[in-house]
Amino acid sequence: MSGCLSVSSLRCLTRDGRMAAQGAPRFLLTFDFDETIVDENSDESIVRAAPGQQLPASLRASCREGFYHEYMQRVFRHLAEQGVRPRDLRAVYEAIPLAPGMGELLQFVARQGPSLEVILISDANTFGVESRLRAAGHLSLFRRILSNPSAPDARGQLALRPFHAHGCTRCPANMCKHRALGDYLRERARDGVHFEHLFYVGDGANDFCPLGLLAAGDVAFPRRGYPMHRLI
């Protein structure tokens, strides 16, 4: 960790050598959601809302690698056609178990005060992520939820849109977490916020790409035995 210039100094050096203003957050902590904050893949968990808790084989076979968000659009459409309402989906999301120790970790993070800024980057969807975090009492901890936008539409279907378009060949078509995190850092820099260090907590292969933004002194926390850990 980079230290303050003196005991009485009111400002500290950030990771890019800038001077951090007094009161500004010093560290950015980024979480993934599926199999990181929660102990399941929420896109798979939502099948519990389907009649018989299963999807038609033809629908499951329509999933293409790199275009999972399009598959989930079809899943939500199918569920709506079967009479599954957004409140039913919310109940499933709210019941997904947190990963072991995650509740205690988030409580610890909340006690760190304004020096630590917390965001979430997830290839799930905002409706599901916010539903689970709200039910756990942790939604207010996160300054920003960066995920695929989703909300009930006029037909009572959960409408899902891609997070953004990008040119990264390593990531799904709807989200590159490297770009999402980079865009966020540039946005905060325009606000005058320059972090001393970044901390990134994740599990999946798509959590490996944003690690290219980490510099000396930054820390990645991969879930042991999961794709991000194996790639590192």
Residue 39 assigned ligand-binding role: no
Confirm or deny that 32 is annotated as ligand binding: yes
Confirm if 175 and 206 have CB atoms less than 8 A apart. Answer: yes
Q: Is 123 annotated as a binding residue?
A: yes
Cβ–Cβ contacts within 10 Å for residue 113, how many?
8
CB atoms within 10 A of CB 186: 10
Residue 203 marked as a ligand binder: yes
Query: Which residues lie below 8 Å from residue 24, measured CB to CB, with a gap of 6+?
Result: 192, 193, 194
**Positive or negative, the Cα torsion across 181, 127, 36, 139?**
positive
Residues annotated as catalytic (active site), given as ranges? 32, 34
The number of beta carbons lying within 10 Å of the beta carbon of residue 88 is: 14
* Signed CA dihedral, 183, 37, 129, 56: sign only: positive
Question: Is 34 annotated as contributing to ligand binding?
Answer: yes
- Of 174, 175, 221, the residue nearest 36 (C-alpha): 221
Q: How many CB atoms lie within 10 A of CB 95?
A: 12
> From the annotation, which residues make up the binding site for Mg(2+)?
32, 34, 203
> From the annotation, which residues make up the binding site for substrate?
43, 123
> From the annotation, which residues make up the binding site?
32, 34, 43, 123, 203
